Structure 1
Amino acid sequence: MKRILLLTAAMMMAGAGYTFAQDTVIVEVPQPAREYVIAHPSDPVVIEGDVAVGTVIPEDVDLVEIPDSPDYAYVYVDKQPIIVSKRDRKVVYLAR
Structure 2
Amino acid sequence: MKRILLITAAMMFAGAGQVVAQDTVIIEVPQPARDYVIAHPSDPVVIEGDVAVGTAIPEDIELVPIPDSPDYGYVYVDKRPIIVSRKDRKVLYLSE
Structure 2 partner of 1:44: 44
Q: CA deviation at 1:73?
A: 0.4
Structure 2 partner of 1:16: 16
Q: CA deviation at 1:11?
A: 2.6
Q: 2:54 aligns to what SS in structure 1?
A: coil
Q: CA deviation at 1:59?
A: 1.4
Q: CA deviation at 1:4?
A: 5.2
Structure 1 partner of 2:66: 66
Equivalences, count: 96
Amino acid at match of 1:56: A
Distance 1:28 1:2 in 2: 46
Instruction: Give the CA RMSD over aligned residues.
Output: 1.5
Distance 1:41 1:3 in 2: 58
Q: CA deviation at 1:3?
A: 5.8
Q: CA deviation at 1:9?
A: 3.3
Structure 2 runs not aligned, ≥5 long: none
Structure 1 partner of 2:32: 32
Q: CA deviation at 1:2?
A: 6.2
TM-score by length of 2: 0.88
Q: CA deviation at 1:57?
A: 0.9
